[in-house]
Amino acid sequence: MTNIPVIVQARMTSTRLPGKVLMPLGDKTFLEHCLDRCARIEGISDVIVATTEEPTCDPIAALADKRGYRVFRGSQHDVLARYLGAAREAGADAVMRITSDCPLTDPGTSSHALADFLANGGDLVTTNIPASWPIGMDTEIVTMDALEEAGREGHHKSDREHVTSFVRRRPMRYALRNLPCPEQGHAHLRITLDTPADRDFFVALAESFPGDIATAGWREIFAHLHAHPELWSINTDEHFG
């Protein structure tokens, strides 16, 4: 099993922050930060942007194409079908799922998850059953067999919107494995792009970070946030103790 692309879902019509993925963070867009980090994951076969067929998403497709990333366009509302279409077109054996609202996704963590999946198998390897990483630092790897079954049998709205929920809800049917965060106490924190406050958080984090936020690992980022807990007041009521 060697053909495992990263599929990144992205659209322009976010309810709380429309167009968020093409907003700037430093000299790149949030989407580019996410894709460039995905490209550094060891063992992946490709990075694919799964966007919608709607004209509003033309700028996403154009940017991804310009940067040399593969693009698949599908249903706006049936994200599972969009993922399946992208995976089938790529001839994938399994797929890694990372969402475009995770601009600081960690390549090292995702590389570890993929290595674990290849070594130990399973239908779904994830970092959030239960959640132990901050929101926005998640990785999932799901087999094509499980994804195809979800596509055929998953009829709930959540199944179509969240891609792996059909598999996650069936631990007796599928082999699920979780890779927890090595450090405790972070699950309630937000490193995700969903609201204007989240955008302000990322800008403040990047401006105050003592290096290049684009290449920083999760330990460096967490250490900086430990040292500057006031950053969390921007987009969450929770703080480090």
Closest C-alpha to 80, from 167, 4, 160, 147: 160
pLDDT score of 1: 61
- Contacts (Cβ under 8 Å, ≥6 apart) of 87: 5, 7, 95, 144, 147
Q: How does DSSP assign 51-116, residue by residue?
A: EESSGGGHHHHHHHHHTT-EEEEE-SS-HHHHHHHHHHHHT-SEEEEEETT-TT--HHHHHHHHHH
pLDDT score of 232: 84
Closest C-alpha to 79, from 50, 59, 117, 101: 50
pLDDT score of 236: 76
The answer to whether 132 touches 181, Cβ cutoff 8 Å, is: yes
Q: Look at the alpha carbons of 64, 144, 159, 189 in this order and tell me if their dihedral is positive or negative.
A: negative
The list of the chain residues with pLDDT below 70 reads 1, 237-241
pTM score: 0.94
Q: In 78-217, which ranges are continuous DSSP H helix?
A: 79-90, 107-120, 144-153, 157-162, 165-168, 196-208
- d(CA 26, CA 68) in angstroms, rounded, equals 20
The answer to whether 43 touches 5, Cβ cutoff 8 Å, is: no
The answer to whether 128 touches 138, Cβ cutoff 8 Å, is: yes
pLDDT score of 237: 60
- d(CA 183, CA 19) in angstroms, rounded, equals 33
Domains and their CATH numbers in the chain = 6-178 (3.90.550.10), 196-234 (no CATH)
AA identity, residue 197:
A
AA identity, residue 190:
R
186 token code pair: 């972070």
AA identity, residue 163:
V
